[in-house]
Chain A
């Protein structure tokens, strides 16, 4: 702690469902560097926690990242051997069960004994603090049947866990950049009041938190932005200096790229006012940031500024979002798009206005779909030239039965619809809705528990 050598922090996952072969090259690179190092896993989207809470209700041993074992198995032993700390919000709605799973995995792999820290306190339903939830303007949050309500906790309890000697830190909801900020703070001995340093560490965490999105993932645009070996993109690693200057790199012997463009794209990802990006640790200002390529796949980032952290923490609330039903059918060859349009009209007229809270939408994939709007105004402006299209109907309804109409009506097009339809697929699924609330910081009390 507090020595002047840089620390390396890599990212092993940028979302639940990320490539499982990504962490291994990151850990290999960290080991080869010979530097103090940590690896973070970010697997908790806005809806993921509510889904995890539902899984836990079904089975008290569930409710954490379903791929946790497969994610850690390739790297756990190496991380423990070389003292690379692991931090992940893969605990989701059940961090204790996640910790037990990691302990069991360690035993199965014959790893050395490890200390796992479990960070809790984000769950406001469990703590009872949910009653103090506010809207953005400070008014009380509307009551409802919440599935989950979790506050975005900052880096402080994670640092506490590292100080206590945790090899692995398992959390539920925590601000994504805090997963990287915590090892920076711990290693360099930064104080939370040093705004410029905390801002810099938070920006580094923001760049790491989506995995490959800063190393050439979600970036390729052939002929405009080419990415080498996109089938094996290396995940990112940040080398952080004691004074807050940092370099973004990627795992060795992998594809992808790190350059000024990839870093700037990710820097602005999910940022609104670039002078006021709110996190539990700092209000981040990136307007004066300088980004410079210093070597192949090495980009230096300087100039992040920080202001007083917000008094309130953001809370994501999850509740029942009803059901979504979808049905699709293909038309190809002469007049295909017109036949698809007719099929869409047929289904929309048959489903009609089923109920007050039911919404129906039609798209013609290949002509206009994702740029289209629910009312179809965008699609109306397009004429059919495309010869291989897919008609899609979506129905959102409070009940499963109504949502299933989408698939049923599309299926019936086989015999009753326009000529030449084929390839019907349908799906229906329950949806989780989320909303953002706020809570006074002092009402959230993170807890750190060591499990040996």
Chain B
């Protein structure tokens, strides 16, 4: 157990991701930049939190799949596009921009783990 201080940071600093769409369903991947980040992400970026994030669009279901070998989560969000690619009034009818909404989720990370971040940008 890492006993260092916890720091709040946007998920965006720890992970990257992409949205895919099929009809009125999107999937959003969340991929840890480093294996050390994955346990924090797995613990804190839950299906419930993602459902809450999209609550203004009333998704009917949020499913989370885990891919520990790839250090990744995959969220599948149903009926979130308010009509889907073909029927949406949204400028972004595909919902492609939404990966960055998920990446805005705040997470609490041990300071020693967050320091590993520097090695990515270096």
Contacts and interface: CB of A to CB of B under 8 A. Distances in A.
Interface of A: 46-47, 218, 221, 223-225, 261, 264-275, 286-291, 321, 324, 359-361, 363, 365, 369-375, 377-378, 392, 394-396, 431-436
Contacts of A275: 65
Contact of A269 (B29, B56, B57, B120): B29
Contacts of B121: 223-224
A321 to B, nearest CB: 5
Given A377-B56, A432-B86, A264 B72 contact: yes
Contact of B56 (A273, A369, A378, A394): A378
Contacts of A365: 91
B86 A433 contact: yes
Max chain A Cβ within 10 angstroms of own Cβ: one of B16, B33, B120: B16
B17 A369 contact: no
Interface string B85-122: 11101111000011001000000000000000000110
Of all A-B residue pairs in the complex, the 4 with the closest CB atoms, nearest first, are A270-B20, A268-B29, A361-B89, A370-B92
Contacts of A370: 90-92, 97-98
Interface residues of B, number: 38
Contacts of A394: 89-91
B91 A392 contact: yes
Nearest to B20: A270
Interface in B42-74: 56-57, 63, 65, 67, 69-70, 72, 74
B37 to A, nearest CB: 13
Given A272-B76, A289-B70, A374 B89 contact: yes
A285 to B, nearest CB: 11
Nearest to A360: B89
Contacts of A288: 69
Given A47-B85, A370-B90, A265 B31 contact: yes
B90 A271 contact: no
B56 A373 contact: yes
7 contacts: A271-B20, A287-B69, A360-B89, A370-B91, A373-B56, A432-B86, A433-B86
Given A267-B70, A268-B18, A272-B76, A261 B92 contact: no
Contact of A268 (B56, B72, B82, B98): B72
Contacts of B90: 361, 369-370, 372, 374, 394
Nearest to A376: B56
A395 B63 CA distance: 31
Contact of B22 (A270, A377, A431): A270
Contacts of B97: 370-371
Contacts of A377: 56
Contact of B65 (A273, A361, A431): A273
Contacts of A435: 23
Contacts of A392: 91
A374 B82 CA distance: 7
Nearest to A378: B56
A119 B98 CA distance: 37
A313 to B, nearest CB: 15
A434 to B, nearest CB: 5
A304 B18 CA distance: 21
B43 to A, nearest CB: 20
A89 B74 CA distance: 29
Given A265-B17, A378-B56, A394-B89, 14 more contacts: A265-B16, A269-B27, A270-B21, A272-B65, A272-B76, A273-B65, A288-B69, A289-B70, A321-B87, A369-B91, A373-B56, A373-B82, A374-B89, A394-B90
Interface in B1-30: 12-13, 16-18, 20-23, 25, 27, 29
Max chain A Cβ within 10 angstroms of own Cβ: one of B21, B22, B83: B22
A431 B20 contact: no
